[in-house]
Amino acid sequence: MDSKENSMSSLENELKQLIIDSLDLEDMSIDDIDSHEPLFNEGLGLDSIDALELGLAIRKKYNVRIDAEKDDVEKIFASVAALAEFIKSERH
Amino acid sequence: MKHWAQIEERGIIWGMQALLKVYLLFGRKVLQLFLYPVVSYYWLINRKGRQASLQYLQRASAYLPDNRIQTGLYGSYQHFICFANAIIDKLAAWSGALSLQDVEFHGRGAIRQHIEKGQGVLILGSHLGNLEISRVMAYLGKKVTVNVLVHTKNAEKFNTLLNRYAGSGTMNLIQISEINAATAMMLMDKIEAGELVVITADRLPASGQSRVARVDFLGKAAAFPQGPFILASLLKCPVYTLFCLKQHGKQTIYFEHFSDGLWFPRKGRDAVIQACVQNFANRLQQYCLQEPLQWFNFYDFWQVGDE
């Protein structure tokens, strides 16, 4: 694994922890969340309130903003991997 | 049935501008001469609005002592005339003619304390009474910014109108059709900056796809939006209610503590939200019965509750 992939997977783990903490998923651990599984509905089963909650937590932690006008919100929140990709691209 | 958003927006900006000119030039009495015939005509031709008014008065009267309000056609006419006077008060507030001396405050101290600590507050309003009077909330502290969330598409035009007649830019109308990630972030910024955010919590947004809670209001189930309460839980800030009623000829503003911070846990979330909305409906009812004719929801408020 090269260093780029490494930093990506550590960001993904960080995000999983953030999801667990901010959404109060107390009985889950980061190993229970697959980076590529859908976060909403059929996957983790999060709902629209969770999406808002998560959006605000991400903004607070990474200082990235999601702009509903220009960003594809559904795509960003599709999975942990997609979320990590978005945060990485916004931070550079 | 037309949604209230469609009913209300017919030429409202143009009309308001014209009325404001009349008010500024000739004052209240002359404006009444203009407005009473208009409202009377509106009352005659607007069967839906009249029926909604009759139905509302009937429900409210069950909670009021005898003869407190009239329930028949005459009562409904008085209800509309009361609305006409509220429009005039609205114009007075916009034109800056309403000053701090004209307004009586209840519960202002608590809000002030939050402002002085730089703490943002979410305020739940309604279409009971005249929310526009809250314009004078600008006097609450040195430099408080009040953001009012509105459903109307004409928010920007209203803003222009407001700012043309009243110099200070301490009141922003922000148009919001739904609460999404972007709007939540924008409001979070405002709360973190120690500003006030006012949102009405008694009407469903025009998009019609929002989450609703069916709660008891004046003895029958009515649909209230969950959005304002969910928003409050996201913003994690103190929540107050705001009612602006005209009492004994004086504008009276009531701030009342609602929650230190709403929290809807994942488990049993719907039940907690339901209880919270019912709390708000109870409080709305309590203020509504103080000034029953100042209820300005002229559509079938309980219709959705029937489903």
Domain ranges of chain B: 4-306
Q: What gap in Å lies between CA B64 and CA B253, rounded to an integer?
A: 22
Examine the pLDDT at B297 and tell me if it is beyond 80. Answer: yes
Q: Kindly state the tokens that stand for B6.
A: 């469609």
| pLDDT (average), residues B196-217 | 85
| pLDDT (average), residues B26-55 | 89
The gap from C-alpha B184 to its chain's centroid, in whole angstroms, comes to 21
Cβ-Cβ contacts under 8 Å for B58 (sequence gap 6 or more): B71
The DSSP symbol for B295 reads B
DSSP alpha helix (H) spans, chain B: 4-8, 12-26, 28-45, 47-61, 73-95, 108-116, 155-165, 181-192, 227-235, 269-288
Residues of B in contact with A59 (CB under 8 A): 185, 188
pLDDT at B177: 72
Q: Do B181 and A53 touch (CB under 8 A)?
A: no
The residue among B10 and B178 whose pLDDT is bigger is B178
Split into its structural domains, chain A has a count of 1
Nearest C-alpha in A relative to B179: A52
Q: Kindly state the tokens that stand for B42.
A: 């509106």
Q: What is the pLDDT of residues A6-58, one digit of tens each?
A: 777 899 999 999 999 988 888 889 999 999 988 876 667 677 788 888 888 98
* DSSP strand pairing (B103-106 vs B250-259): parallel
Min Cα–Cα distance to chain A from B101, Å: 41
With cut-offs at 50, 70 and 90, classify the pLDDT of residue B103: confident
| pLDDT (average), residues B282-306 | 89
With cut-offs at 50, 70 and 90, classify the pLDDT of residue B140: low
pLDDT at A81: 93
The residue among A41 and B116 whose pLDDT is bigger is B116
Min Cα–Cα distance to chain A from B238, Å: 17
Q: Do B234 and A52 touch (CB under 8 A)?
A: yes
Residue in the block written with tokens 């309590």: B286
CATH number at residue A65: 1.10.1200.10
Min Cα–Cα distance to chain A from B181, Å: 5
Domain hosting residue A68, numbered range = 3-91
Nearest C-alpha in A relative to B226: A49
Q: What is the pLDDT of residues B52-81, one digit of tens each?
A: 999 999 999 999 998 889 999 999 999 999
**B183 and B234 Cβ atoms separated by less than 8 Å:** no
Query: Between the ranges B40-44, B89-93, B203-207, where is the mean pLDDT highest?
Result: B40-44
pLDDT at B159: 61
